[in-house]
Amino acid sequence: MPTPQPEWPTRPQGIYLGKLSDSDLIQLREALVDEQKTEWFPVVQPPEQPPPDLAPIPDYDHEAELAAAPDSPTATYRERALDYVEDIIATRDQVRPNKLQPVDDVPQGIERRTTRHWVWYRTTEEITDRSHDRPQSAAHVTEHGKYLFFTPGDSDILEAIVFEEFQERPFKSAKLPAIPNRREDAVLCLYADDDRYRGMLRERYQNEPDNDDGYELASPYEPGKPVVRPRGFKSDSATRNNEYSDQYRNGGE
């Protein structure tokens, strides 16, 4: 069973952070701490239109949200926002796997965002010199989906795969489980538009002592290396149809 989830901070009325990355959230805290700065103000204000991630919530009142935010920065509003941001940072730190890279060490051009259940990764425009080193004709599946990697070890092994692949090939997003969502094995979902790299990724990262799951071993097992079990490519349609192996279910989705 997943680890019990810590209580997530309650969002104060009139404050909306959006989907800030972990590093952006820390920068926002630094701006809020400085009583002379005001650039934090538009970042924490509710948007003019109801945000899609909040508006469907029962009893959500966007007009009340707008009314609860002042027209210009105030000390009280800044303190409320600072308290909330600090609570969010502390909770993200609590649910993010301990051995992942510190926020400051996430490579340039990659954003990491910790949520209740997942640690998300995406590339930014700062990464521009990547190119496909295999043609789409090498793909068997030409539908958006995800490459799956499992490990019984620490999630930092999977994060290292994300950083390496994001900087070499045009992958754009990935996720791995936060601590409350971790099952027996941790699972990395590396999203892509097709499966052209299925063999190359297996050859590069597979390292397991046996083949009990029926997958052909792509490379010799090296006891000194962390165990990584690549499990191919799963299309979005297969996800919608709940087509998952027992190995993937153990890893969690």
The stretch 89-97 carries a mean pLDDT of 97
Specify the pLDDT at position 172: 94
How high is the pLDDT of residue 250? 41
Question: Is the pLDDT score of 143 beyond 80?
Answer: yes
Residues in the chain: 253
Listing from the earlier edge strand, what are the strands of the sheet with 118-123? 110-114, 118-123, 173-177, 186-192, 145-151, 229-235
Give the pLDDT score at 210.
83
pLDDT at 213: 74
Mean pLDDT of the chain: 91
pLDDT at 245 over 70: no
Q: Residue 197, exposed/middle/buried by CB under 10 A (0-12, 13-18, 19+)?
A: buried
Residue 129, CA distances (Å) to 125, 132, 170, 201 in order: 10, 10, 9, 20
The confidence score (pLDDT) of residue 251 equals 37
CA dist., res. 9 & res. 94, Å (int): 12
Model confidence pLDDT, tens digit, residues 109-134? 999 999 999 999 999 998 877 888 88
Interatomic CA distance for residues 101 and 234, integer angstroms: 27
Dihedral sign, Cα of residue 137, residue 142, residue 144, residue 149: negative
Residue 2 has pLDDT above 60, yes or no: no
Q: Would you state the structure tokens that stand for residue 213, as one six-digit string?
A: 């799951």
Instruction: Please write the tens of the pLDDT for every residue from 172-201.
Output: 999 999 999 888 899 999 999 999 999 999
- How is 171-191 classified by DSSP, letter by letter? --EEEEE-GGG--SSEEEEEE
- Encode pLDDT of 3-17 as tens digits: 567 899 999 999 999
pLDDT at residue 66 in the model = 96
pLDDT digits (tens, 9 = 90+) for 37-64: 999 999 999 999 999 888 888 889 999 9
Q: What is the pLDDT of residue 248?
A: 44
Question: Using 50, 70 and 90 to split pLDDT, how confident is the model at 247?
Answer: very low
Is-contact 118 189, C-beta < 8 A? Answer: no
